[in-house]
Amino acid sequence: MAVNRQWILKKRPVGDVAPGDLELVETPVPVPGDGEMLVRNIYLSLDPTNRIWMSDMDQYMPPVEIGDVMRGGTIGVVEASNNPAFKPGDIVQPAMAGWQEYVVTSAAGKVAASKDTPMLAYMSGLGGTGATAYFGLLDIGKPKPGETVVVSAAAGAVGSIVGQIAKLKGCRVVGLAGSDDKCKWVVNDLGFDACINYKKENVLEALRRECPKGIDVYFENVGGEILDAVLTLVNLEARIPLCGLISMYNADGPVPGPYMFRNILMKRVLVKGFIVIDYLPRWGEFMRDMSEWIAAGKVKWRVDVAQGLENAPEVMQKLFTGGNTGKLVVQIGPEP
């Protein structure tokens, strides 16, 4: 019997994801029915939001139910098809195929992978990561030439792309990241103007030094103390695309609100949360611009690829310890 390995959510984590919260099980490889296809997953996207989906807090999608396959985005290859729109060998992105080796689905996005645009590009710069950076920064942040843009988790999947787009728009770009190596990468390779290692420096003092004209746009990925430091230095009519709050995802109970909340009033700051799927109707705009920027070498994407579906829960922890640089992905099986 051909086997499908799957990660099942066994119980809701308390704090960090712990052994026993998920269980690796083996089931028969599913058989596609009429209009369906069998997809072998090759790469699995690991995202901070996986931790949110494991919880039963009020969120933007239903939580993963106990006993269900863990939700996750993948890219894979069609192995068998009863759907005339797809044939074996097609590279596809099924909607949330999950943490498993095989999935049966009737719909998926086809991907034109090539030597210049490999499958992994669609998991990073040309995927949800790139779109999150693009729409959050441009649609909400609306950066203007000469403005100062600050981005947290700057060496991560989304943050590294945000900073590069802001540079293209003529801004001064200051990142925050958790190691000197990460800071060197975003400044030397990606063209950020400065990067603050928030684990080593006093963030408020460092932001004052690196943002002498104040902060016009803050692309928020983390929350907590960094948000307070930024709020202290925002300019009149600053914009804060609220993309994520990773410092709070493992919190077991209420977390303190920002102490500098009052500056949102004093400085007439726009703070707007967004979820990238809100922008699905506008995906074409993103693909048009980002494909061009990547092809021209103006935006670089980087992936951090770990091996083996069996390691997914442990690898996911890197998002919370800062162990990843660029987009974190698990390779489940070989590329065709």
Ligand X SMILES: NC(=O)c1ccc[n+]([C@@H]2O[C@H](COP(=O)([O-])OP(=O)(O)OC[C@H]3O[C@@H](n4cnc5c(N)ncnc54)[C@H](OP(=O)(O)O)[C@@H]3O)[C@@H](O)[C@H]2O)c1
Residues engaged in binding ligand X (CB under 6 A): 47-49, 132, 153, 155-159, 177-179, 182, 221-222, 243-247, 274-276, 319-320, 322, 324, 328
Least separation in angstroms between CB 75 and ligand X? 16
| Min dist. Cβ of residue 223 to ligand X (A) | 8
Q: Report the distance separating Cα 20 and Cα 8, nearest Å.
A: 10
With respect to ligand X, which residue has the nearer C-beta, 97 or 104? 97
C-alpha gyration radius of the chain: 20
For ligand X, the closer CB: 150 or 158: 158
**Shortest Cβ distance from residue 193 to ligand X (Å)?**
17
For residue 162, the Cα-to-chain-centroid distance in whole angstroms is: 11
For ligand X, the closer CB: 215 or 319: 319
CB of 165 to ligand X, least distance (A): 14
Least distance from ligand X to the Cβ atom of residue 178, Å: 3
For tokens 């983390």, the residue is 222
Q: Per this entry, what is the length of the chain? A: 336
| Integer Cα distance of 191 and 318 in angstroms | 25
Sorted by sequence, the CB contacts under 8 Å of residue 65 that are 6+ apart come out as: 9
CB of 213 to ligand X, least distance (A): 24
Nearer to ligand X, 38 or 206 (CB): 206
Which residue, 48 or 143, has its beta carbon nearer to ligand X? Answer: 48
| Three-class SS state of 281 | helix
Nearer residue to ligand X within complex by CB, 60 or 89? 60
